[in-house]
Chain A
């Protein structure tokens, strides 16, 4: 190995700017927050088990060149509908989680297929379309859950239904399945609880992604991600493959949402899914991913850094300036800010790359 020269150091800093920035924010914030190390470690483990699956669901569309799948919210909705039914039928424990997942699959496939179709009509602007699509489907979701359930779709459990006789209440207690997976295989190291079974499920999805990259389908997605036209002319069915990528992401997001909610224990019927897309995307980006590059390691690093920032900022804000509110706004700002930066850097680099081809000759002439 030769010694790293200045250029490569700068390159390293440049390509990892976001994680490094976060490390700096956190290392300033942690002492001010006043939290103990044990507490923070426990928090990180909880958050990893809670959020990693959701974040991992974003990787497949990135591979297929479709950018950050803001439409993953659709999967989250499917997962929630699965949970509503399971709770309604009063199915307890692992069976409940399993059944909710099974219920979510056909819904996710349907939503993913629709989403993929629409994104195929908006090539080159997949992200903004997926983003609006999430809003749009939120309206449809409300139509179904707030007006359809209990009136057209029978809901037997009266505690879930609004007093007017139809529509699901704002919160659904998921006591039946609450943390059943997390506590399936209990493990405690010192004061720290580790949800082994959940991590095993997460490991499984990681293995799936690693394996998937080696399949023919995975290879096709990589090809499409680089150049749709070349892939098309080689006989790869581009549109279909892109739809499959979105379906896989949507199904995984549905599972992820179920895991997430089994940890939280209550479903905010009309809000839980709204934030999930934004937080998952922000976390992945914080881990060093970009619009066209996402690795499993980015997901874990991202969840750790992003949620650490989330945990500490209200307290750090309070101790620094005397206002917890400020810390809360700060973390909202950072979540949006980090997505903005990632989007800007991506678009800027893409534009620059186009220009760089042009400067090659200029440089050659200068050196003469």
Chain B
């Protein structure tokens, strides 16, 4: 095998194609009249917005629970934290930290229940996770209508009850992180605070994975019987990983919102797991192995494509095919990963 083949083998065709695709987009961009600085800026912002949601995949992949298609559950915890923080009247950047604080107990409780469920369905986690995510989003649709929120910026204006579908976080935690130490060069804005926060959480997870519990987690994912024989409580370790993933999902959505500017309720979180799953896979993870590097590379590549395709495509062929490309790239990547799992280590 020559070195080139080796590289292809190791990276995998889809990943290589996606990487080359993105590279070509950046090369074409100036000729198509797209400003690189704006594109790069957008890519960075979206990297920051999605970085933690992608990170939320890592603990569960490590512990052998597979891809966290149940991410919406964590997002719901984040939504509860965000809305409660606004309801309680917190404003400004402070409301962001209160949101995180309030989201945490929900994330822990949801994650614990979700983990307990996944422990009872070992081997069928991913499909069930998907539907747990879906069901919980649908259930919360009912709850958003019924819960007694009364902050006027959040509820339906015209005499209706229940929360709006999109709530602006302006005056609350809009750009709570993004504006922190932000660097402006012309129209290029580097969202220092957000990027630092994303890197910080990535670092913390990296550190966690090197503790005794984190090591046990990796072992449980690698070979549960081995871990059991070494005195590790498999179910407990898996539950911890699910709680951690769920909590990261909650934080992730809050970071997303502070940059995006809106809280999206109801069916908003429905499909949010898929881009995150696709991103970490593009970054080089598989169904049972993932690293922090995979998170960073994946989030950057995937978000890069999402920002670059519409602008470049639009100016080239006057058609916005980005949605279709997004669907094909992200789901194609997931299928690729699912069909490459070796069943058993034999």
Q: Do chains A and B touch in the complex (CB under 8 A)?
A: yes
The reply to whether the CB of B213 lies closer than 8 angstroms to some CB of chain A is: no
With contact pairs A128-B126, A135-B274 given, residues A344 and B145 touching in the complex (Cβ less than 8 Å): no
3 closest pairs, A vs B, by CB?
Answer: A139-B327, A347-B124, A347-B121
The reply to whether the CB of A337 lies closer than 8 angstroms to some CB of chain B is: yes
Instruction: List 8 contacting pairs A-B, 8 Å CB cutoff, sorted by A.
Output: A124-B343, A128-B126, A135-B274, A136-B328, A142-B324, A323-B145, A347-B128, A348-B120
- Stretch of A180-188, A242-250, A328-336, A358-366 on the interface side: A328-336
The reply to whether the CB of B183 lies closer than 8 angstroms to some CB of chain A is: no
* Central interface residue in A122, A123, A132, by most chain B CB within 10 Å: A132
* Count, chain B residues at interface, CB 8 A: 40
Interchain CB contact under 8 A, B145 and A142: no
Interchain CB contact under 8 A, A333 and B139: yes
- Contact residue among B142, B274, B341 (Cβ-Cβ distance under 8 Å from A330): B142
Interchain CB contact under 8 A, B127 and A332: no
Per-position binary interface string of chain B over residues 155-186, scored 1 when its CB falls under 8 Å from any chain A CB and 0 otherwise: 00000010000000000000000000000000
Interchain CB contact under 8 A, B120 and A129: no
A204 to chain B, nearest CB (A): 32
Interchain CB contact under 8 A, B128 and A344: yes
The reply to whether the CB of A356 lies closer than 8 angstroms to some CB of chain B is: no
Interchain CB contact under 8 A, B145 and A325: yes
- Contact residue among B120, B131, B325, B340 (Cβ-Cβ distance under 8 Å from A340): B131
Q: Which residues of B contact A (CB under 8 A)?
A: 69, 117, 120-124, 126-128, 130-132, 134-135, 138-139, 141-142, 145-146, 161, 274, 319, 321, 323-328, 331-332, 334-335, 338-341, 343
B49 to chain A, nearest CB (A): 22
Per-position binary interface string of chain A over residues 313-351, scored 1 when its CB falls under 8 Å from any chain B CB and 0 otherwise: 000000000010110011011011101100110111011
Q: Give every chain B residue within 8 A of A127 (Cβ-Cβ).
A: 127
What CA separation (Å) do A346 and B127 show in the bound complex?
A: 12
* Central interface residue in A146, A339, A340, by most chain B CB within 10 Å: A340
A-B pairs under 8 A by CB, number: 114
Interchain CB contact under 8 A, B335 and A343: no
Interchain CB contact under 8 A, B127 and A343: yes
Q: Which residues of A contact B (CB under 8 A)?
A: 118, 121-125, 127-129, 131-133, 135-136, 138-140, 142-143, 146-147, 323, 325-326, 329-330, 332-333, 335-337, 339-340, 343-344, 346-348, 350-351
What CA separation (Å) do A348 and B116 show in the bound complex?
A: 12
Q: Give every chain A residue within 8 A of B131 (Cβ-Cβ).
A: 336, 339-340, 343
What CA separation (Å) do A340 and B136 show in the bound complex?
A: 10
Tell me the nearest residue of chain A to B326, going by C-beta.
A139
Q: Give every chain A residue within 8 A of B274 (Cβ-Cβ).
A: 135
* Central interface residue in B141, B274, B326, by most chain A CB within 10 Å: B141
* Central interface residue in B122, B126, B138, by most chain A CB within 10 Å: B138
